[in-house]
């Protein structure tokens, strides 16, 4: 019984050793390629469709300032 278990474990270890290893060079090339593609897409959107990009902190601050200016104008107009 113990001998059978040892043989089964040895067979499993042998099967694991036969599995192909991960190629680290291929993985890094894929990561670099993905990052490059994402960057190219971002640049293309910035050039051809800038209104589809997410708002930045500066955009939010500009909107806040415009809203404050509109509130000021509405208060000034309603006071007259």
pLDDT of residue 69: 94
pLDDT of residue 1: 64
Report the b/e string of 56-69 with b at 16+ CB within 10 A: eeeeeeeeeeeeee
39: left (phi over 0), alpha (psi -120 to 50) or beta: alpha
The tens place of each residue's pLDDT in the chain, 80 residues long, gives 667 778 888 888 887 777 777 777 888 889 999 999 999 998 998 898 888 878 888 889 999 999 999 999 998 888 76
pLDDT of residue 17: 74
Which DSSP string corresponds to 2-69?
Answer: HHHHHHHHHHHHHHHHHSPPP-HHHHHHHHHHHHHHHHHHHHHHHHH-GGGSPP-HHHHHHHHHHHHH
pLDDT of residue 70: 94
């Amino acid at each position: 019984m113990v001998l059978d278990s040892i043989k089964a474990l040895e067979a499993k270890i042998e099967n694991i050793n036969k599995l192909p290893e991960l190629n680290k060079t291929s993985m890094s090339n894929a990561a670099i390629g993905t990052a490059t593609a994402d960057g190219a897409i971002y640049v293309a959107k910035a050039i051809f469709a800038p209104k589809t990009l997410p708002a930045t902190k500066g955009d939010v601050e500009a909107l806040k300032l415009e809203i404050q200016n509109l509130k000021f104008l509405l208060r000034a107009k309603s006071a007259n």
